[in-house]
Amino acid sequence: MGVVLLAATMQVQAKVSQAEADKLGTELTRMGANPKGNADGTIPPFTGTTLGVPKGVNYKGTGTYYPNPYPDEKPLFVIDGKNYEKYKANLTDGQIALFQKYPSTFKMKIYPSKRDVRYSDRVYENIKRNAVTAEIVPSGNGTRNAFGGSPFPIPKNGVEVIWNHQYSPNPYLTEGIVASAAVFNNGSISMRKQFESRYFSVFDPDLTYETFDGVSAKVLVEVTDPPREKGKVTLVHEFMDLTELPRNAWQYLPGTRRVRRAPTIAYDFPDGPGGLRTVDDALAFIGATDRYDWKLENTRELYMPYNNYEADSPEHKYSDILTVNHPNPEFMRYELHRAWVVVGTLKEGKRHIYGKRRLYMEEDSWAALLADNYDGQGSLWRTTMRTFVNAYDMPGMSPRQEIYHDLQKGAYLLNNLVNEEGGIQAIPKQKRPADYYTPANLRKIGK
Nearest to 403, CA basis, from 334, 315, 302, 301: 334
The residue-averaged pLDDT of 191-216 equals 96
pTM here is: 0.95
Nearest to 52, CA basis, from 196, 220, 171: 171
Instruction: List pLDDT tens digits, range 300-309.
Output: 999 999 999 9
Strand extents, DSSP E, 310-363: 334-346, 356-362
Q: Percent of the chain beyond pLDDT 90?
A: 89
Question: Taking 70 as the threshold, does the pLDDT of residue 13 lie above it?
Answer: no
Compute how many other C-beta atoms are within 10 angstroms of the C-beta atom of residue 4: 9
The residue-averaged pLDDT of 160-184 equals 97
The residue-averaged pLDDT of 312-326 equals 98
Question: Taking 90 as the threshold, does the pLDDT of residue 168 lie above it?
Answer: yes
The per-residue pLDDT for 310 is: 98
Mean pLDDT of the chain: 94
Helix (H) or strand (E) holding 127: helix 121-133
The residue-averaged pLDDT of 369-380 equals 98
Half-sphere exposure of 285 (CA within 13 A, CB side): 32
Q: 247: Cβ–Cβ under 8 A, 6 or more apart, which residues?
A: 236, 237, 238, 239, 265, 266, 287, 288
The per-residue pLDDT for 48 is: 97
The per-residue pLDDT for 9 is: 38
Q: What is the C-alpha to C-alpha distance for residues 259 and 262, in angstroms, rounded to an integer?
A: 9
Q: Work out the pLDDT band at 370, boundaries 50, 70, 90.
A: very high
The per-residue pLDDT for 8 is: 37
Question: Taking 90 as the threshold, does the pLDDT of residue 244 lie above it?
Answer: no
Nearest to 171, CA basis, from 218, 146, 215, 204: 204
Asked if residue 365 lies in contact with residue 168, where contact means CB atoms within 8 angstroms, the answer is yes
Instruction: List pLDDT tens digits, range 48-101.
Output: 999 999 999 999 999 999 999 999 999 999 999 999 999 999 999 999 999 999
Domains of the chain (ranges, CATH numbers): 2-446 (2.50.20.10)
Question: Taking 70 as the threshold, does the pLDDT of residue 284 lie above it?
Answer: yes
Q: What is the C-alpha to C-alpha distance for residues 255 and 354, in angstroms, rounded to an integer?
A: 33
Question: Taking 50 as the threshold, does the pLDDT of residue 270 lie above it?
Answer: yes
Q: What is the C-alpha to C-alpha distance for residues 146 and 202, in angstroms, rounded to an integer?
A: 9
Q: Work out the pLDDT band at 265, boundaries 50, 70, 90.
A: confident
The per-residue pLDDT for 264 is: 67
Q: What is the C-alpha to C-alpha distance for residues 417 and 402, in angstroms, rounded to an integer?
A: 9
